[in-house]
Each structure stands twice: as structure tokens, then as C-alpha cells.
Structure 1
């Protein structure tokens, strides 16, 4: 049998901005693995055709980004419970038996980032979550899995928060966006899953008067690395965790499945993504 070099990539539209090729390429070189990871711009109308062709081209798997994370679930033969619960997949594995396996590692990336970079105890008290989009679903699913006692959720469009409460259950209580500051009272974990505060976006305006210095505050945005929310929370005395770690940790399970080595997320990895 001819020797085939394993390939993986990231599917999206647009995809040029993705940090994944830089990250996976770094790990491939670092561990001396013969393999490739490439960005693949795919329009929605071509998604199925491209995915069906990839294993024949030597691909062992792929990451999936906007706007394909929901659509790939319908193409997969096997969908993990996590991906089904979140309603989106970010990691595909082309199995040797020809079956397409879809998983979601965003929640894993989120929790590992908090565990590695703070004294986070998910069971210590309520979590306050800002935003009810796709990232929020992954965060909420992982918070429930980690045993968070209560989740307070606020979104600019209330109907989206209500829909998530309906889906994920009574552990979630919905707070009006104008009162979002109130849900910080007693919260031990605070998560911004919105794009507010990101470069080129509106500022996140939330009253932090009720934020306890004992809370762990994280922002899944990583441009800028230190958002105003994190700066303000740090000034209050909170432990703060930036969003870059979530991007790095969510990539670990996929890389391990595709290339057979579990990569380490460390200072050198962070430095490579930030400074090259």
C-alpha cells in the first residue's frame, strides 16, 4: 500500500482569517509529524460535494467554522452527544470505515482554558453568560456538564435566551439585557460569548458594580486579547482569562485524532499565534 501523508484543514466561508492553519502547522513542525493542515474556502452550495471528496484526497479530518457548523451535522454518519446537544460541529473525522464522525470541542476548549489559567471551581456558584449565539450553546452545555448550579443568561434579543432556556432546562434563568449587570450579583463565573468588545464591534456596556472580586471572568473574544471587560474585572480584583486559550484547547482533540499525538498548549504555542 502506498504511503499517504495525512491531511486536515478548516472549512469555512470566509476562512482566510482563521488561526487554525497557523496553530496546527506549528504543532506538526514541533512534533516532527509528516502532515499538512490547510484553509479551505467552501461555499454552502458546495459543502457536501467537498466533504465527500476529501477522504479520497487523503484528508483524515477537518475543522469547521462559520457558516458550516450546523450544516455538517446533517452530513455526518455519527454525531457525538455533545455536538447534537450544541446543534453544531467544529471537528470532523473521516474514519477508515468510510463513516463521517462529527464532534464539537468548543466546550472542551472553554473549560480547559479556565482550568489551566485560573482557580476556577465550576460548582462554587452561579455562572452569568452574556450572549445566546452558537458559542453560548457550547459554553452552556459544558457548564451544565461541569456541574454549575445555576446559569443566568442575558442576550440583546430576549427570544434567543428564552429558546436556550427551553432547550437546556430550568438550570437557566433569563435576565433582560438592560438588567444584565444584576445577574453578576453572587456569580462566581462570568462569560462574555458575544462579539461586543471585539475589534471593530461595539463596546460591551455592562454595569460591574455587583461583580465580586472572587469571580472568574472570561471573554471568548481574543482580538483584543485584553478586552475592556477583562481590564475592568481585573481592576476589581477578579481572576481574568482571555479567549485565546479556548481557541488553542479546542484544537487539541482534533489534532490528536488526526495525527496521533496529543499536542501541548503552552506559552510557546500562545506566543507563536500572537507573534508570528
Structure 2
């Protein structure tokens, strides 16, 4: 069957999108819309506000409306796991999904690509980053931090120090991920940075309109690689201060771009490039 055949012309354009509440702040529609145009793909990516009480009904309806998959953001990333038919090991380990594929057999396949996006961003921005160099230090204990911890362990990091304003959440992550994690009190977060070669802010602290991230950097080595999952602003005060100490820094926008690529490929059949032009478009 050729591309110009009546059968191909009659096929509806595949639909994908992102669900959350709220959703209009999401940059995913701009990103996926750009890729669809860049690769001349006849498809659409739609932002959809969905209330928690409507989530199950919406997920059942979308495949019948021509959707091949969706991204999932707050507050649905945990709830979709209970509604999916197939859950990947990494989504189950992290306890959340950000990418759903609606399979031809009608089943919902749930995955989490946040950890992949985090590591891919590090490797692109700092090609000589070596996961064997330990320890790593992670600030935060929410869903993003869980994805970061899982991906660092999977990459071979032998020791992860973790801190959170609410210590019990960090302790829970250690209980689930094992003895390679060491929990630090929030008041001792600065001490956690001593000797760390990879430092990650996986909290929302420092984000625009959020509380600042106040952790003393006196113990931070200038040889450390420092990254922040926050990308609004692109250069957070945490990254600015780390850079002033001589550290290499990696902003969080690349993680957003890289985590989106596997879903786009599954839905639309094209692996998108993550390059400077992609960054420019999303930041506009």
C-alpha cells in the first residue's frame, strides 16, 4: 500500500496529548507540535485539563477518539498506574507514569521516561560524565527525585546521598531503593555535598514563584557536575552559585526534551532529534 493509496489517505491522523490539572502551563504541546511540523507528520498533540474524578472515564474514551497515547502530569502520574493494563518495571519502581501508549489490542501501556530523560540530558550536556564516579547527592524526595534515584542506580552510581525537608519521605525512598542510599537531615544538607561528584536539585525549590533553595555550598567541590530539574528560570540561583564556584552546570530543560522523545517515537513513528533548535523553540 503506497502513501498515496485511498487506504492511507482515509486513515485518521494519530492524536496524542497531555493530561493534567492545571495543564495550560505545559510546554509539551509546543514541543510535540514543533516535532510534528519538523518531520511533516500528519498528527496532532492536544493539551487536556482533566479532573481526578474524571480520569478513568477519560482514559477509556481517548482510544476511541483516535488517540494513540498521552503524556501524564500532575496530579495523575500515580493514579494512572492503577488504571493501566501493562506497567513497565521502571514505572512500577518509581511509582508513577508520565507516558501512556494505547495499544491496538485496547490495552493501556504505562511507562515512566523521566529517569531516561534525566540521564540522556546529563550525557548530552556533559559527555564525559561517568556514573561510576560516586557519590551523588540528590535534593528532594518527590516523584522526580524517585526517577532520578532509580536512573542513577541503574547507571551504576554506587552511593547516593539524599535529603528532603520532610526526612520521612527521604527515608521511604531509601527503604525502597536500598543501602546505596544515605539519608541526611535537611539541616545537614550542606555537609552532604562534600566529595559529591554529581549534585541534583530534584525539588521544586528555586522554581519561579516557589521558595528559594537555600543550601550552603561551602563544601561543594569545583569538580562537581551540578544539575537542576527546574527550568523556569533556566539558570536557577542554585546553578548560578554552583557555576561561580567553578562547577559545570546542566539546566533542566534538556530533561524535559529527552523524556518526551520515547513517547513521540512510539506514537508517531519518528525518533526526534534533541538539538539547539528544539531548545530555542520550546523557550520561545
Normalising by the smaller structure, the TM-score range is over 0.9
Structure 1: 4+ residue segments shifted above 4 A: none
**Shift of residue 221, structure 1, vs aligned partner:** 0.2
Partner-residue secondary structure (3-state), 2:17:
strand
Instruction: Tell me the equivalent position of 1:144.
Output: 153
2:211 is the alignment partner of 1:202: yes
1: distance between equivalents of 2:108 and 2:209? Answer: 37
**Equivalent runs, 1:1-276 vs 2, <5 Å:** 2-118=10-126, 119-275=128-284
1: distance between equivalents of 2:11 and 2:133? Answer: 51
Deviations 1:101-129 (A, max 9, x none): 00000000100000000131111110000
2: distance between equivalents of 1:38 and 1:261? Answer: 18
**Shift of residue 265, structure 1, vs aligned partner:** 0.5
Deviations 1:113-151 (A, max 9, x none): 000001311111100000001100000000110000100
Give ranges in structure 2 of 5+ residues lacking alignment.
Answer: 1-6
Partner-residue secondary structure (3-state), 2:132:
helix
1: distance between equivalents of 2:196 and 2:56? Answer: 43
2: distance between equivalents of 1:11 and 1:201? Answer: 23
Give ranges in structure 1 of 5+ residues lacking alignment.
Answer: none
Partner-residue secondary structure (3-state), 1:186:
coil
1: distance between equivalents of 2:134 and 2:53? Answer: 45
Partner-residue secondary structure (3-state), 2:226:
strand
2: distance between equivalents of 1:155 and 1:44? Answer: 27
Computed over aligned residues only, the root mean square deviation of the Cα atoms, in angstroms, reads 0.7
2: distance between equivalents of 1:196 and 1:74? Answer: 29
1: distance between equivalents of 2:82 and 2:211? Answer: 34
2: distance between equivalents of 1:216 and 1:121? Answer: 10
Deviations 1:50-70 (A, max 9, x none): 010101100000000000000
1: distance between equivalents of 2:224 and 2:130? Answer: 10
Aligned residues: 275
2: distance between equivalents of 1:184 and 1:33? Answer: 46
TM-score, normalised by the number of residues in structure 1? 0.98
Partner-residue secondary structure (3-state), 1:47:
helix
TM-score, normalised by the number of residues in structure 2? 0.96
